[in-house]
Amino acid sequence: MRWLKENKILRFLGSVKLALILFWSIIIVCFIGAVLPEELRGYVFGSVWFFVLLAFFALNILICVFFRMSFARKKIGSTLVHLSILLILLGSFLSYFFSIRGVMELEEGQSKDTIIMGCKLHKLDFRVYLDDFSVEWYSASPDKYQIRTYVIDKNLKNAFKAEKSKEQNISNTGYSFMVADYFPDFAMDENMKAYNKSALPNNPAVLLKITSLKAKEERWVFAKHQGMGSKQDENIKFRFDYQPMIKEFRSRVRVIDEKDKQSLTADIKVNSPLSYKGYSFYQSGYDEDNLKYTSLDVVSDPGVSFVFAGFLVLNAGLIVIFYPKLKPVSSRKK
């Protein structure tokens, strides 16, 4: 053991001087990588030389711990801090080389046992079924939104609340209109009659009764398809600014594991992922035009627990180091 501590190469690799050089080199490289455009950051953080730099730093800390490790009361804090850095670096290496990150896209009634990882597929040893996908809005009522008008010959633009059954006068134009009906999911049957398909705002539309000095007309105005619908009076245009804010979206899934002969049902929400066999499923997206479709981010990262443990040990070490120094002077003299 003594000859190891007297070895000049090991003493240099575990020296404080080398630790400071490596530490500041890593800080500078990280700063440069952070200010680079996102598409160029991989050339820094994903490069071989950057990992060699981290590996040397880890080796420096490891040798330093080996030479100076002590669980004496005055030195245990320093030992814990060094061990925490090793745990964080170990977790980072495990995350980079062994983590799995991909996307699973499902439609209601569909199941998959693969995730998309860039240009390749990664197979899971269980299947995920999407039983139901739902979206909840803060307010789907049309009176929370606006109908914008444009009278061409007057070059006049206005905005009105989409209040149902209320006559709205467009001043100095001779026009007025009223929201006669509202369909959150507009559709037409085989007889070309308008009807509401569902309560979901898949295709929001309002039926306007328009009155002018010359005539009256009814016109459907669509939120997602501006300009659609028949018009008699081309001098006036309407726009339905209907953009409800989503409160929450949820995927109800079933995990079927034929290998272990077990299954479970769970709701996946934005801040409530599903964890199974080391994989975490996060709610990440949906299709505005098809509210039966969901997109899930799938992550398996063996390094997270090491990084988390490293920060816990780091905090413990800092508490051990600085807590005695926070005591009042009078109590320390005693």
Per-residue pLDDT of 52-88, as tens digits, reads 898 888 888 888 877 777 667 778 888 888 889 899 9
Q: What is the pLDDT of residues 242-286, one digit of tens each?
A: 877 777 889 999 999 888 788 899 999 988 999 999 999 999 988
218-253: b or e for each residue (b if 16 or more CB lie within 10 Å)? ebbbbbbeeeebeeebeebbbbbebebeeeebbbbb
Overall number of domains in the chain: 3
Quote the CA–CA distance of 278 and 267 in Å, as a whole number. 18
Q: Give the domain-ending residue among 199, 226, 241.
A: 241
Residues 93 and 19 in one domain: yes
pLDDT surpasses 70 at 331? no
pTM summary value: 0.65
Residues 159 and 13 in one domain: no
Residues 60 and 125 in one domain: no
Residues 128 and 7 in one domain: no
Structure tokens at 298: 């799938």
Residues 108 and 255 in one domain: yes
Residues 183 and 107 in one domain: no
CA 163 to chain centre: 35
| Residue ranges making up the domain that contains 224 | 142-241
